[in-house]
Amino acid sequence: MSPRRKLLVAIGIGVALAGPPVLALNYWLSGLVEQQGRQELEQSAGRHMALAETRVARVISTLDDLAARGVDSCRASHLDAMRQATFAAAPVKELSVIAADGRTLCTDVGNQPEQRQVLSSEPIAGGSAVLIEVIRMGPKGEGWVRVRRPAAGAGNGLAALVPLALFVPQVANGGGPMSFHARMLTAKGALIAESGDIHRDTKSADVIVVDLPSSRFALKAHITAPQTMVAAGQGDLRSIGVVASGLLAIVILGLTVLLPRRERRNPIADIERALSAGEFVPYYQPIVDIRSGKLRGAEVLIRWRKPDGTIVPPAMFIPLAESSGLIIELTRELMKRVLKEAGAALGKRPHLTVGFNLTARHFASEEIVEDIRNIFKRSPLRMSQLMFEVTERQPIENLTETRRVIAALQGLGCKVAIDDVGTGHSGLSYMLKLGVDVIKIDKMFIDSLGTDRYSNTIIETLIDLAQNMRMDVVAEGVESFEQVVHLRELGIRAAQGYVFAPPLPHSAFMQLVDAIDPVRTRDKEPAREPVAAIAAT
């Protein structure tokens, strides 16, 4: 066969080989676009359900407090108490005294002759006497949510009005215009509030629907969006798909024409070889007390350092290690290396902590508990200095088994944290069900501090929940001193990020520890209570 014919045959083979991968890539990207669109809708539903729950809980607390103080009439002293309560409770716009037959007797803004038309009314939660009602009032028939607390006996009850807009999102997650239609419903399906455009011309098969019931109250978030609009919001991915398809076709065609056939390397075998050679090394990112400036510990981040000095970031090998099961051995070797490198120095500073990331595979059994016990039981590091974080790269499927493993880790004296709270798979359900010690606020909310009032509200909500559940809070991804100031004002003490230091190799981290917290200085000082242990991911 002539060289020219061989080249033409090679080109034909290359085109044939490039076709299926390009089609598969575009099919995969289409699925990814839809998946990310659904995740964005789920995050929006979760975010605003959490805000709605927090606001309703605040309103109920306000009504309970007034009832406990005996406020149940239109006397001047009772009206004054209601005015003070309205001022203190942000969601409440009006408080009123309600007769046993449902009539509005008076409000904190003066007697209201017009009565309210009740459109729906049902208990706020199972077994609760408090009602959540949708009402209309005023000459324009303006809609409101009314949370009503009937009197325990035959006396008068109390009620609070909350604007409808507080129950549904007004902007998209990124702060731009909404591309979806959101509704907040009662448990029985009565409409409370809605926002966004309804796309009536879209077929039901082309609509993404997200339903999220509240775990606390008789509320349900319902969000819909046409797939076309969700896909439009993921335009960058589609552009990447077009470019990647062209590059993939060119690469396959070039390999077919120019390169000899080679045996494909097994990436899992490469990871196994690197494990045996000790090429996976820990990097340490400091955790700082943003009020005192003291060091509180470090998060351990893994890097692959090849023999030629090249550093491979974790995104290039961690997903493969997780899917293959090598993440168990990888974590075991990482803990041993940290103990060997930094165990003696950190052991002399019992107030400093060191944190390790664990994935869903680690919580499938108690093997990780035995590993930790065997590695650290006779080491300079105390168990109380160890922090283990639940990461979100894979969703946790068995919460019962995970809770059992977490309890076993806590039984050893270790602490457990949840990473990226407010996004991804975890959300508030992990906080409520797993019984962890620390929550970490995702960088997405830290980036919006000072520019997005919703981020401030979410962070305040998380801090309040953490305090009520006796959890510590740490902010991650802090990159400016302005963010540090905002976090201090919001009551957060622990943070990590590039504004303090990037992940450091062992030698640089030890120099930082010796400079900030020299042992010789501490030995001359009187004994102090250890600082609370916090480590971040």
- Spell out a b/e string for 320-336, using b for 16 or more CB atoms within 10 Å of the CB, else e: ebbeeebbbebbbbbbb
Shared domain check, 472 and 329: yes
pLDDT in tens, 2-31: 555 554 555 555 555 555 665 665 565 566
Looking at residues 118-131, what average pLDDT do you find? 90
pLDDT in tens, 498-518: 989 999 999 999 999 998 888
* Phi, psi (rounded to 5 degrees) for 296: -110, -10
Q: Which residues pair with 299 in a beta bridge?
A: 285, 355
Closest to 222 measured CA to CA, from 198, 201, 200, 205: 198
Q: Predicted confidence band at 355 (pLDDT cuts at 50, 70, 90)?
A: very high
Within a domain: 389: yes
Within a domain: 271: no
Shared domain check, 110 and 73: yes
Looking at residues 425-442, what average pLDDT do you find? 74
Most confident of 190-204, 276-290, 429-443: 276-290
Shared domain check, 311 and 211: no
Residue 176 neighbours by CB under 8 Å, 6+ apart: none
DSSP assignment, residue 108? T
Share of the chain above pLDDT 70, in %: 77
C-alpha dihedral sign at 72, 74, 78, 82: positive
Shared domain check, 500 and 366: yes
DSSP assignment, residue 306? -
Q: How far apart are CA 98 and CA 256, in angstroms?
A: 81
User: At which of 228, 262, 296 does a domain end?
Assistant: 262
Looking at residues 164-168, what average pLDDT do you find? 88
Shared domain check, 285 and 326: yes
pLDDT for residue 103: 87
Q: How far apart are CA 440 and CA 417, in angstroms?
A: 7
pLDDT for residue 174: 61
Within a domain: 527: no
pLDDT of 60 higher than 90: yes
**Number of structural domains found in the chain:** 2
pLDDT for residue 524: 44
Q: Which of 40-44, 119-123, 244-248, 493-497 has the lowest mean pLDDT?
A: 244-248
Q: Which of 188-202, 285-299, 329-343 has the lowest mean pLDDT?
A: 188-202
Within a domain: 535: no
pLDDT for residue 259: 46
Domain range for 493 is 279-521
Shared domain check, 232 and 93: yes
Q: How far apart are CA 535 and CA 147, in angstroms?
A: 41
User: At which of 207, 232, 262 does a domain end?
Assistant: 262
Closest to 63 measured CA to CA, from 154, 129, 134: 129
Shared domain check, 237 and 358: no
Shared domain check, 250 and 106: yes
User: Helix crossing, 3-68 with 453-468: angle to 10°?
Assistant: 60
Contact between 185 and 219 under an 8 Å Cβ cutoff? The reply is yes
Within a domain: 335: yes
Amino acid (1-letter code) at residue 268: I
Within a domain: 231: yes
Shared domain check, 485 and 403: yes
pLDDT of 279 higher than 90: yes
Within a domain: 80: yes
> Maximum Cα–Cα distance for the chain, whole Å?
106
Within a domain: 493: yes
Shared domain check, 44 and 89: yes
User: At which of 234, 262, 290 does a domain end?
Assistant: 262
Looking at residues 130-136, what average pLDDT do you find? 93
Residue 292 neighbours by CB under 8 Å, 6+ apart: none
Shared domain check, 102 and 222: yes
Q: Predicted confidence band at 62 (pLDDT cuts at 50, 70, 90)?
A: very high
Shared domain check, 470 and 347: yes
pLDDT in tens, 297-321: 999 999 999 999 899 888 889 888 8
pLDDT in tens, 323-350: 888 999 999 999 999 999 999 999 999 9
CATH of the domain at 290: 3.20.20.450
pLDDT for residue 531: 33
CA distances from 441 to 169, 221, 293, 295, 429 (A): 21, 23, 20, 19, 15
